[in-house]
Amino acid sequence: MTEYPNEECPVCRGMEWVHQAGIGAKRCQCYFQKQGQRLWKESGVPERYQKCCFDNFDGLKPSLVKAKQIVSAYAQAYPVIEPGMGLLLVGPCGVGKTHLAVSLLRELVLKKQVSGLFYDYRDLLQQIQDCFSDNAQSTVLEVLEPVIHTEVLVLDELGAGKTTAWVQEKITHIINARYNEKRICIFTSNYLEKTPGAGEESLTDRIGVRLRSRLYEMCRLVEIQAEDYRIHIKQAQYRTIGPSKGGRLTDTG
Ligand SMILES: [Zn+2]
């Protein structure tokens, strides 16, 4: 055991405190860095998204540039935002919604030492469901407790997977509890509002009208409709998808 357990910090030589004239002792920058790294390890971001950050977001299309600007500005402003107001990132598969959500979480956790959790919607529901199996490892309360109380929750792929009344009840409980405590939720979802005649399911179909209304109360909507995606679909299916809305991004906050 050396005198300075963390000799790599040249500023404080591992003491994690520095002296500043006129102020006295204050925390060294390395203390906050370590705290952020610990929180990041605990945040549950899957391996495949571990490296996602704003700098490596491939957003060349105007709509994606705008989405990145909104999410990045949100990260900068945090916590000076409307209390409890999160983001709902909606758009088709593969446009980078998860990448943006993880980039936001990364900024908040590493730079601002905010506690946060990342959950894939289906994984969370599976974990809750597993609590009722014969060889359950944890109780529902143990699973829900951190999800309800973490400062920032990223819930990825909202509405994906098979929906049952039971599923809706659990997810509504979590989101209502966070809403009541004004805790931030960052959602991503592939489900948009229903396009007339398109025959696709909407977010309301997937999670119910009450929960959908609640989301709109607690989130700014960032809707991404990537131009390249629309062109791809049109070419693949040789049909017109109504009036072109390519590149549209609405920010209804
Ligand atoms: Zn230091």
Give the C-alpha separation, 69 to 62, whole Å: 11
CA–centroid distance, residue 33 to ligand 1 (Å): 9
Domain range enclosing 35 = 1-41
* Ligand 1 centroid, distance to 35 Cα (angstroms): 12
Q: Residue 162 Cα, ligand 1 centroid: separation in angstroms?
A: 49
Element (H, E) at 121: helix 121-130
Q: At 251, is the pLDDT very low, low, confident or very high (cuts 50, 70, 90)? A: very low
Same domain, 77 and 36: no
Give the distance (Å) from ligand 1 centre to CA of residue 159.
Answer: 44
The per-residue pLDDT for range 34-69, each reduced to its tens digit, is 999 999 999 999 999 999 999 999 877 778 888 999
Distance 55 CA to ligand 1 centre (A): 26
Residues 28 and 125 in one domain: no
Tell me how far the alpha carbon of residue 18 lies from the centroid of ligand 1, in angstroms.
Answer: 7
Over residues 81-118, the pLDDT tens digits come to 889 999 999 988 888 999 999 999 999 999 999 999 99
- DSSP classification of residue 108: I
- Closest to 74 measured CA to CA, from 59, 64, 57, 88: 88
My answer on whether 122 and 29 are in the same domain is no
18 and 121 fall within a common domain: no
- How remote is the CA of residue 34 from the centroid of ligand 1, in Å? 10
Q: Is residue 31 domain-shared with residue 86, that is, in the same domain?
A: no
Same structural domain, 227 and 112: yes
CA of 1 to the centre of ligand 1 (A): 18
Contact 219, 88 (CB under 8 A): yes
In terms of phi and psi (left: phi > 0; alpha: psi -120 to 50; beta: otherwise), the region of 113 is: left
The neighbour count for residue 97, using CB atoms within 10 Å, is: 25
Residues 155 and 153: their CA atoms lie apart, in Å, by 6
130 and 204 belong to one structural domain: yes
Instruction: Say how many Å lie between the CA of residue 17 and the centre of ligand 1.
Output: 7
53 C-alpha vs ligand 1 centroid, how far in Å? 25
Q: How many structural domains is the chain composed of? A: 2
Distance 31 CA to ligand 1 centre (A): 6
Per-residue model confidence as pLDDT tens digits over 116-131: 999 999 999 888 888 8
pLDDT value for 176:
95
pTM of the model: 0.82
**Same-domain check for residues 119 and 27:** no
Mean pLDDT of 224-241: 50
48 CA → ligand 1 middle, Å? 31
Q: What is the mean pLDDT of residues 127-143?
A: 89
pLDDT single digits (tens) 173-220: 999 999 999 999 999 998 876 655 556 788 888 888 888 889 989 999
Distance 79 CA to ligand 1 centre (A): 25
CATH of the domain at 87: 3.40.50.300
Q: Do both 213 and 122 map to the same domain?
A: yes
Distance (angstroms) between ligand 1 centre and the Cα of 72 equals: 28
Q: Percentage of the chain surpassing pLDDT 90?
A: 51
Mark whether 108 and 190 lie in a shared domain: yes
- pLDDT of 206: 83
Is the CB of residue 194 less than 8 Å from the CB of residue 161?
Answer: no
